[in-house]
Amino acid sequence: MPVATILSMFAWLTLLVNAVTLLLIISLVRRNITRSAFPSTFRVAASRLAVAVTVAASLGSLYLSEVGDLTPCRWCWIQRIAMYPLAFVLLIGWFTGDRLVRRYAVPMAVLGLAASTWHYLLQQVPGLSDAESCSLTTPCSVTYIEKFGFISIPWMAGSVFLLTVILLTGFRSTDSRIG
């Protein structure tokens, strides 16, 4: 399958992740206003979803660089430095039933979200594209993909980081393996 087709699939999956994230944020705000409880079955599934999206994002980034031959820039590597251990920590935490894994996972996801946001701004704001943090051979301002007018690789990573933060902080459960 051509890399362009895979990138289009990733863009559609990112739209899905963004829609789910928006719905979860709305449900958290409504829950705080109405004090109604969110279904406990979703609270249990939230940790599994966090594991699944971070592992999928890690595998997707490996696909883009190793199969798709898209050379990651410095800010892409910083996002990977946050995503790969995040996926690993959540996966191990889920397998072992570690109830304290959120203490490590949430800061990693927040730092990854910050890096993704900065990288997205480097791509979208012309005045920032001359930043000294990137090389001439792999500039951070280059956009390998731009679907729907706004989805780029940093947007995809940031979407996963944001969803992970929301799932881990807003949907805690005593019945979940991660807690």
Domains present along the chain, CATH in parentheses: 3-170 (1.20.1550)
Q: Which of 165, 177, 114, 148 is nearest to 14 (CA)?
A: 148
Out of 14-23, 36-45, 91-100, pick the least confident.
36-45
Task: Output the average pLDDT for the chain.
Answer: 85
Write down the pLDDT at residue 132. Answer: 61
pTM of the model: 0.89
Residues in contact with 117: Cβ distance below 8 Å, sequence separation at least 6, in sequence order = 154, 158
pLDDT category at 35 given cuts 50, 70, 90 is very low
pLDDT category at 157 given cuts 50, 70, 90 is very high
Q: Which of 162, 120, 114, 145 is nearest to 12 (CA)?
A: 145
Higher pLDDT, 178 or 147: 147
* Buried/exposed 135-151: b ≥16 CB within 10 Å, e otherwise: eeeebbbeebbebeeeb
Give the tens place of pLDDT for each residue, 115-128.
Answer: 999 999 988 887 77
Write down the pLDDT at residue 154. Answer: 94
Write down the pLDDT at residue 143. Answer: 77
Residue 139 has pLDDT above 80, yes or no: no
